[in-house]
Structure 1
Amino acid sequence: MAGVRPGLGSAYETSLDGARAAVLSRLWRGLAFEPLPWVVRREHGPDSLTLWLAGGGRLEGPPVDPYATDARVTSLRLDGRSHRQAARLVAALRVPHGAAFAAELDDSTASLALSRAGQPAGPEAEAEPRSGWEWEQRVVDGHPYHPNCRSRPGFSVAEQLAYAPEHRPLVELGLVPVPARECLVTGEWPEHLRDGDRVLVPVHPWQAEHVLKGEDVRAAAFAAHPLMALRTLAPAAGGPHVKTALSTRLTSSVRDISAYSVETAAVVSAFAHALTERLDGRLHITRTLGAATAYGPDLAAVLREAPEAYAGPGERVVPVAALAGTALARSAAWQAAFARLALSVCLTVLDLGVALEAHGQNLLVVLAPDGAPLRLVYRDLADIRISPARLARHGLAVPPLAGRLVTDDVTVLRRKLFGSLAAGALASTAGSSQGFGRALAAALDGLAPTADSALLRGGPLPVKALTLMRLSPGVPGDQWAELPSPLAGA
């Protein structure tokens, strides 16, 4: 940092305590609720929570609100000894795979402090964003509940400042020319990304330097603004968003673009776009315009319609994650209206046969000039789930798909939606159990009960066991925890 951005040093030091507390708070939430095999039992006191550990250890801390986003846990006590840093606590627990997780927590803490240190002050900080990408770059702290909220292993300080959206850079994407016969392309690949009989695949500069070392990369092909997902960017000249392959671990997963995603992109996009006709204009799904891959997942790209295409005059399209903590989202009436819109739409789509992964990054809301939530926009179809049985029950054509997107398992479908929408987007926007419960109660009061919505009414709510997953590197797929229903405190 001293060599790349020396002016950040003081702000970084000032941000460290808050970053440590933010990561420790997220870790404590995971330890408090996830089915960790080495936690024997949990004892809840009026102003404390105690975890009894295998082998007789004891971990103590404050009570945990599972839906809070402003928790500030500054220390936890392991066998009487205070720990203020998440990484040192995990190292002291001596649990399987704890050393690797501790390194990720240190990285998350340092990156979060850097993200906070680089934020503007004064009028610039108070001004409302004027474009979609500016809204995306307002999300500074990353995932609201994951202790790896800002973990970016493999990125130097210079690379974070150059590529991370919260630092507001302009990123120069490269292009790799690939003979068309050696490239899988679906959808419509535009002419400006072709060169004779070769397909030009957009490449993130980090990927070009660290992964595609032997490839012929045409550098600085065009400039783009990085969005919340970091590997997806909005071209500065306008047009479709570009999702690039970025083969590093961000938060939980290694981010690449599989051949399966490219193969199914056009079919899934057309299917999802047709499905929105059943929603009376309340939901738009951004179309996948084209997808390409060559030589494996390290070289691939997806071109996707920009969400702003679905905004009318005076309207704004805002990612839900960017609304958390704003004056608009602090209004109980707004929270209830948004929850009613989101649940009515997503429950209808689930009943029809599609479970959206509607977390705060994928789900956007169209706001009226006065801020009222009008419609939803959903993007990134790479990890939805489609139920052939539910589609058939409604007389809808089943798309010609196989593989991980297709399932009739009710538990899988409900976890996909409720783990992202209810325990994710809605909870983090409300910011607490009380606020979430109040918004959920108001929303459900106006909705006809269904077999799916019964889970929301009675709880508990499914949520990815994010800490357990990072401590279980040999276990494939998602693992799950259950959170108490917020309606109890509404």
Structure 2
Amino acid sequence: MRRSPTVETEVAEELAAVRPGLVPRYAAELRGARAAVLTRLWRALAFEPLPWIAGRERVRDGLVLRLSDGRRLLGPPADPYATAAYVTAVFLDGTAHDDPARLTADLAVPHGGSLAAELGHSVASLALSRADQPAPAGARPEEWPVEDWEGEQRVVDGHPFHPNCRSRPGFSVAEQLAYGPEHRPSVELGLMPVRRSECLVSGVWPEGLRDGGRLLIPVHPWQAAHVLKRPCEDGVLTAHPLMSLRTLALPDGPHVKTALSARLTSSVRDISMGSVAASAALSDFAVDLAARTDGLLHVTRTLGAAGAGSADLAALWRESPRTYVEAGEHVLPVAALATTGLPESPAWLGDFARLALTVCLRLLERGVALEAHGQNLLVVLSGSGAPLRLVYRDLADIRVSPARLARHGMLVPQLPPRNLTDDPTALRRKLFGSLVAGALAGTAGSWAALRTALETAVRDLPRTPDLTALCEQPLPAKALTLMRLSPAHTGDIWMHLPHPIRTR
């Protein structure tokens, strides 16, 4: 089998210089990392509307893809909701490929070279992440995470369906070890002084981050070194990175979201001035909306936001999800649920799906589509692990329908135009693509488990038009790989996955 050893070798060489003791484990993890990324890539090839795939055909041993140039690609039957790495090799015109980067390069499709490079980074970074893990954490409630960041740092493999699940181009090995949440570091955020008159501020900026007529804006050290290219000399905040890497938890509770102008998975992680300006209005609106869910949903408030006229220098100050947890309870991001063992129970998975759909469909009926993927959506668990209620964070990409709000007697907040739409397709894509094809699918881990959970959950839900659309129309999901192969396209590209209920 042909491989693309360059990135893997470079990472090994850097690792030998900074953490030589990890080199053997890193080498041992490479095969599994290739399979994990190849599995995600095979999902994309099997289901996304890629223009250079002329046809797909099920055969006895798997799935054959006919390429527009006449070549054939053979792989195993594709499960669109599988999270385990089940694809160890595919065959391009009879030649075996176990390396997703080399396969992508050999496909020779438009913009494939850039994607191949990113997949190489994804494999190497994933192997590095897996190599630096302690013994597996326990699945009993008394062994679940206590601090905010501990549960988030258990999510080692990144996005469950994106081939770029761990791609971090621009980060050296030393920087990945120093800043990646799965490596469990403490990070010292620099404080950049900016005159108050030069800042856009929304909400209340913390008193401890004011210095006379200046605001002190927390800056991620990677951003200071690579983008701002200047040191922060007015002190530091020590914090623990969460799943998104650029959002960190302070030991005394609050979370701070920093600008990080690097491409992680798909997007460049900065904070636009529009997001800063809208943060207070969004926060107040969402908290009011959550109060109408009979206690089943809480939204972490954005306490303050500030930007110095650029997406490269901005920060948001946000409540911890633990604000909404009672004694004896636990709160975890949905992406971390697999580390508890709870989703292995079909009954538990059905209860969780019912809770998530009840809350999110109720909000959608009233006019708000959450981007409820496994990072934004958290679940509060009882001491025994029962799903009790939800916590949602990061409101920047929700969609709000003025018409639906008006039908329920609610005022439309002052939001950026991109957050507003009355198009039911756009609203449902936002919610169903993130919640069902994302959070619930990633938690279930397979087509069969997701189907059982959804069939259990939807029986008890009110038959609204949105629920009918969920059950009877094709299930939307973002075409993540096609989006990476379409650099001239702005915005999301959507596809339809085989429906977990309607398709057998």
Q: Normalised by the size of structure 1, how large is the TM-score?
A: 0.98
Query: Is it true that 1:225 corresponds to 2:240 in the alignment?
Result: yes
TM-superposed deviation, 1:46: 3.2
SS in structure 2 at match of 1:329 = helix
Residue in 1 that maps onto 2:11: none
Residue in 1 that maps onto 2:210: 194
Query: Is it true that 1:317 corresponds to 2:331 in the alignment?
Result: yes
Matching residue's letter, 1:221: V
Structure 2: stretches of 5+ with no match in the other structure? 1-14
Query: Is it true that 1:212 corresponds to 2:232 in the alignment?
Result: no
Residue in 2 that maps onto 1:453: 467
Measured at CA, do residues 122 and 326 of structure 1 come closer, stay the same or move farther in structure 2, by a change above 3 Å?
Answer: closer
Aligned counterparts, 1:441-480, within 5 A: 441-480=455-494
Residue in 1 that maps onto 2:184: 168
Query: Is it true that 1:342 corresponds to 2:352 in the alignment?
Result: no
Matching residue's letter, 1:195: D
Structure 1: stretches of 5+ with no match in the other structure? none
> What is the alpha-carbon distance in structure 2 between the residues aligned to residue 223 and residue 125 of structure 1?
29
Match of 1:90 among 101, 104, 107: 104
> What is the alpha-carbon distance in structure 2 between the residues aligned to residue 46 and residue 171 of structure 1?
52
Percent of paired sites with the same residue: 65
Matching residue's letter, 2:259: A
TM-superposed deviation, 1:459: 3.7
> What is the alpha-carbon distance in structure 2 between the residues aligned to residue 382 and residue 28 of structure 1?
31
Matching residue's letter, 1:339: A
> What is the alpha-carbon distance in structure 2 between the residues aligned to residue 41 and residue 14 of structure 1?
37
Aligned counterparts, 1:238-387, within 5 A: 238-324=252-338, 326-387=340-401
Give the conservation status (yes or no) of the 8 Å contact 2:307–2:314.
Answer: yes
> What is the alpha-carbon distance in structure 2 between the residues aligned to residue 123 and residue 279 of structure 1?
34
> What is the alpha-carbon distance in structure 1 between the residues aligned to residue 411 and residue 435 of structure 2?
26
Matching residue's letter, 2:206: P
Matching residue's letter, 2:44: G
TM-superposed deviation, 1:403: 1.8
Matching residue's letter, 1:132: D
SS in structure 1 at match of 2:185 = coil
> What is the alpha-carbon distance in structure 1 between the residues aligned to residue 202 and residue 165 of structure 2?
33
Aligned counterparts, 1:150-161, within 5 A: 150-161=166-177
> What is the alpha-carbon distance in structure 1 between the residues aligned to residue 416 and residue 267 of structure 2?
23
Give the conservation status (yes or no) of the 8 Å contact 2:218–2:237.
Answer: no
Deviations 1:398-436 (A, max 9, x none): 112232111111111111000000001001111111100
Measured at CA, do residues 486 and 125 of structure 1 come closer, stay the same or move farther in structure 2, by a change above 3 Å?
Answer: closer
TM-superposed deviation, 1:47: 2.7
Deviations 1:151-204 (A, max 9, x none): 001000000000000000000000000000000111000110000000110000
Matching residue's letter, 1:320: V
SS in structure 1 at match of 2:316 = strand
Measured at CA, do residues 46 and 458 of structure 1 come closer, stay the same or move farther in structure 2, by a change above 3 Å?
Answer: farther
Deviations 1:380-406 (A, max 9, x none): 001101110100011111112232111
> What is the alpha-carbon distance in structure 1 between the residues aligned to residue 56 and residue 33 of structure 2?
26
> What is the alpha-carbon distance in structure 2 between the residues aligned to residue 327 and residue 396 of structure 1?
40
Deviations 1:246-302 (A, max 9, x none): 000000000000000001000110011011121001000000000000031000000
User: Post-superposition, which runs of at least 4 consecutive aligned residues in structure 1 deviate over 3 A?
Assistant: 122-127
> What is the alpha-carbon distance in structure 1 between the residues aligned to residue 189 and residue 294 of structure 2?
38
Match of 1:29 among 30, 43, 50: 43
Match of 1:139 among 125, 141, 155: 155
Matching residue's letter, 2:372: A
> What is the alpha-carbon distance in structure 1 between the residues aligned to residue 85 and residue 198 of structure 2?
51
Aligned residue pair count: 488
Matching residue's letter, 1:163: Y
